[in-house]
Structure 1
């Protein structure tokens, strides 16, 4: 389990407690707690009390965490575009573009 995986899960699913995060990522509670502590120290997540159950502490992605994920995604897209241009022939690039259309159609169903 990576800290980025935790950030992505929080981005997709919203606030979760440590136990739910650990279950979702299939890691021990202690391991998730260490990751959450590191992410909180970096300012990427925050803790808050549950609205109806004050015993629960929810982990939430901060604005800085959202910015981190967005920038990481943009870097990945730029790298992929550069690799496609450098390593694929124009014909291979067209095939890949056609495949993307099919993959998107499958994902929508």
Structure 2
């Protein structure tokens, strides 16, 4: 399951942040999530909203049997506009660009 949210920030008038929430597996590490987040960033960068997107967040979480969130991991690219997301200098460098902000 995937959800996408758009949020505004008064420090970025006319722009938005995009948050992508995934429910892949209950136990995904930040390093496992990075290449997935990179693919989303590349897709956003080629979309019509790229020029007005200042940050991208990608999170993964699942619900346990007790309906509580488990295994949440959240990554952020707070400098989305300045990153090319075109595979250069390398995909490894792009994956390392993500800041872990949760999990």
* Alignment TM-score, normalising by the size of structure 1: 0.26
Which of the two has greater strand per residue? 2
Between structures 1 and 2, the one with greater helix share: 1
- Larger RCO (CA within 8 A; separation ≥ 6): 2
TM-score, normalised via structure 2 length = 0.27
